[in-house]
Amino acid sequence: MTMLQIPLSEALHDELKLWATREHVSMEQLAAAAVADKVSALSQLAYLRDRSAGASREAYLAVLAKVPEVPPVPPDTAAR
Segments making up each domain of the chain, as ranges: 11-65
28-37's contacts with Cβ under 8 Å and 24+ in sequence apart are none
Cα–chain center distance at 51: 16
pTM: 0.68
User: Quick one: 62 exposed, middle or buried, by C-beta within 10 A (0-12, 13-18, 19+)?
Assistant: exposed
Give the torsion through C-alpha atoms of 9, 10, 16, 17, to 10 deg: 160
Strand locations in the chain (E): none
16-60 per-position pLDDT tens digit: 999 999 999 999 999 999 999 999 999 999 999 999 998 999 999
